[in-house]
Structure 1
Amino acid sequence: MLVLMAPDKFAGTLTSAQAAAAMAAGWLRRAPGDTVDAVPMSDGGPGFVDTLHAALDGRLEAVTVRGPLGEPAPATLLLVGHTAYVETAQACGLALTGGRDARHATTYGVGELLLAALDAGAHEVVLGLGGSGTTDGGAGLLAALGASADRDLTAGPAGLAGVTTVDLTQARARLAGVTLVAASDVDNPLTGLFGAAKVFGPQKGLADDELPAVDGALQDLAAATDRKAAAEKGAGAAGGLGFALALLGARRRSGLEVVADATGLAERIATADLVVTGEGAFDVTSRGGKVPAGVARLAGEQARPCIVLAGRVEVGNREMRALGVESAYAMVERAGERALTEPVVVLEELAAHVAGQWSR
């Protein structure tokens, strides 16, 4: 039996590569006669560059940029021919802010990453969006590229309130002849009830009473630039980086699709008997471009059964089936707090248990 393991990261505990390795080890312990094909995945968030490097090889280039709170942040570009792959979380990620000072966190460093890719000779830049600790609508990125305004674009959402004019001339000129791809994991617009601030702000450290002001600042930014672009799907990705990239002419693509194409995922699914995917929390947000839903969709197209191993499972059977998932299994249900303190061991145990049910 050939089993394909294609998980995302388990946020805060395991990278996608670690998760795939743990799943494979546990499965083979219980079903040593099976063959496991491990292919770590990413939706554009943390792990995007490492996953693509493993699949595409290419050249890694280390750079240092301004972090979301002004501190130096190490980052890595992946260069494959004239295409550069950038993981924006390395420059503005929640792992860098720790949820601190979210009203002043900036994406300026993402703009510096983009400039470093151009200086390295890239004609196309694919930016993985996800895992950000910022909600500045990409204003910092625009400033790094040369945009100017009547408010401080580098001061996070707190600096945007009341902005009325934004000049993108220099930023757009800097990108003349460059193809930008925004590889995003969410469909949210920039503002409103389902926008970047109100949906994702709390997990980035914004207090409930700060959300209206931050959303209002993003509305001001949209009014000063392009309201239509702000309403497009994916504009709210990575705290609004999707919006800023749209202003610069980027086309949007699913982060999972970028990685799936690079790894030949569809072809590998076609040869498998069972597909296993996973992530830290398999919940309602998994529908919006996340790895498990995308992997399950590809498995369904090949008429292959797909199951999920996750830290937590918070979707019911009906919604699970609608996503194309046969069954889902939770680490916390099996091991409680050990799922956080011993994630590799617990995920191996869970995979071995599931292998006992699914292996032939």
Structure 2
Amino acid sequence: MRILIAPDKYAGTLTSQEAATAIAAGWARTAPLDELDLAPLSDGGPGFVDTLHAALGGTLEAVTVRGPLGAAAPATLLLVGHTAYVESAQACGLALTGGADARRASTYGVGELLLAAIDAGAREIIVGLGGSGTTDGGAGLLAALGATADRPLDEGPAGLVGVTHIDLTAARAAVGGVSIVAASDVDNPLTGLFGAAKVFGPQKGLTEDELPGVDGALQDLAAATDRKTAAGKGAGAAGGLGFALALLGADRRPGFEVVAEATGLAARAAAADLVLTGEGAFDFTTRGGKVPAGVAALAGEHARPCVVLAGRVDVGNREMRALGVESAYAMVERAGDRALTEPGAALEELAAHVADQWSP
């Protein structure tokens, strides 16, 4: 039996490579004769650059940028010909903020990443969006590229309250002649009930009391620039980085599509008898562009069953089937607290159990 193992990261515990390795080890324990194809993935969040480097080769260049709270942050850009791949989480990720001072966390360093890519000769920049610790609508990125306003753009959403005018002339000139792609992991708009602050703010450290004010600051930002773009698909990705990139003329592609194309995932799914995927939390956000939804869709196109191994499973059978997933298994249900304290071992044990259910 041929098994394609194509997980995303398990946020805060395992990289996608570590997850794929753990699943493979557990599966082999139960079904040692099965043929395993490991395809660790990313939807644009953490691991985006490493995954693409493994698939495409190219040259990695180390740069240092301003982190979300002002401290220097190491980052890496991948150059493949005249195309650069950058990962916003390296410059403004939740791992860098730890959920602290979320109202002042800035995306300034992502703008510096774009400038570094242009200085390296890139004519196309693909920006992986996901895993951010910021909710500033990409204002910091715009500031790094030269945008100015009547309020500070590099002090997070707190600095945007009451902004009425933004001049994007210098920022647009800085990326002139360069094609930009926003590779996002979600479809959310910038503001409103399903916007960047309301949906993702709490996981970045914003309190319930702070959410209306941050959403209001993003509304001010949109009113000063482009309300129509703010309502666009993916504008709320990475705390609104999708919006800022759209203001610069970026095209949007699902991050999963970018990685799936680079890894030849469709052909690998077609060659498999069973497709496994996974992530930390298999929940209502999965359908918005996350890896398991994309993998399940590809598996369905080739009439291959898809099974999810997740840290938590927070969707019912009806929604799971609507996504094209046959079954979903949760680490916490079998391993309890060990899903967090020993995630690799817990995932390996879960995979061994799933293999017993699915391998002949």
Partner of 1:77: 77
**Secondary structure, aligned partner of 2:308:** strand
1:254-333 matches, cutoff 5 A: 254-333=254-333
CA distance in 2, matches of 1:158, 1:139: 11
1:110-125 matches, cutoff 5 A: 110-125=110-125
Post-superposition offset of 1:212: 1.1
1:238-288 per-position Cα deviation (integer Å, ceiling 9, x unaligned): 000000000000000000000000000000001000000000111111111
State the number of aligned residues.
360
Post-superposition offset of 1:213: 1.0
1:191-222 per-position Cα deviation (integer Å, ceiling 9, x unaligned): 11111111111111111111111111111111
**Structure 1 moving runs of 4+ over 6 Å:** none
Post-superposition offset of 1:289: 0.4
CA distance in 1, matches of 2:170, 2:150: 15
Partner of 2:210: 210
CA distance in 2, matches of 1:49, 1:195: 26
**Secondary structure, aligned partner of 2:55:** helix
CA distance in 2, matches of 1:356, 1:200: 37
Partner of 1:173: 173
1:1-360 matches, cutoff 5 A: 1-360=1-360
Amino acid at match of 1:29: R
CA distance in 1, matches of 2:315, 2:218: 31
TM-score for both structures, normalised by structure 1 = 0.99
Post-superposition offset of 1:60: 0.4
Post-superposition offset of 1:68: 0.3
| Percent identical | 81
**Alpha-carbon RMSD:** 0.6
CA distance in 2, matches of 1:186, 1:348: 28
CA distance in 2, matches of 1:269, 1:233: 28
Post-superposition offset of 1:29: 1.2
1:134-179 per-position Cα deviation (integer Å, ceiling 9, x unaligned): 0100000000000001110011101111111100001111111100
**Secondary structure, aligned partner of 1:14:** coil
CA distance in 2, matches of 1:353, 1:139: 47
Post-superposition offset of 1:346: 1.1
CA distance in 2, matches of 1:212, 1:345: 41
1:23-77 per-position Cα deviation (integer Å, ceiling 9, x unaligned): 0111111111110000001000001011111111111000000000000000000
CA distance in 2, matches of 1:274, 1:265: 13
CA distance in 1, matches of 2:102, 2:340: 26
Amino acid at match of 1:300: G
1:98-131 per-position Cα deviation (integer Å, ceiling 9, x unaligned): 0100111000000000100001110000000000
**Secondary structure, aligned partner of 1:356:** helix
CA distance in 2, matches of 1:208, 1:308: 31
1:213-237 per-position Cα deviation (integer Å, ceiling 9, x unaligned): 1111111111110010001010000
CA distance in 1, matches of 2:7, 2:132: 20
CA distance in 2, matches of 1:248, 1:189: 17
TM-score for both structures, normalised by structure 2 = 0.99
Post-superposition offset of 1:357: 1.1
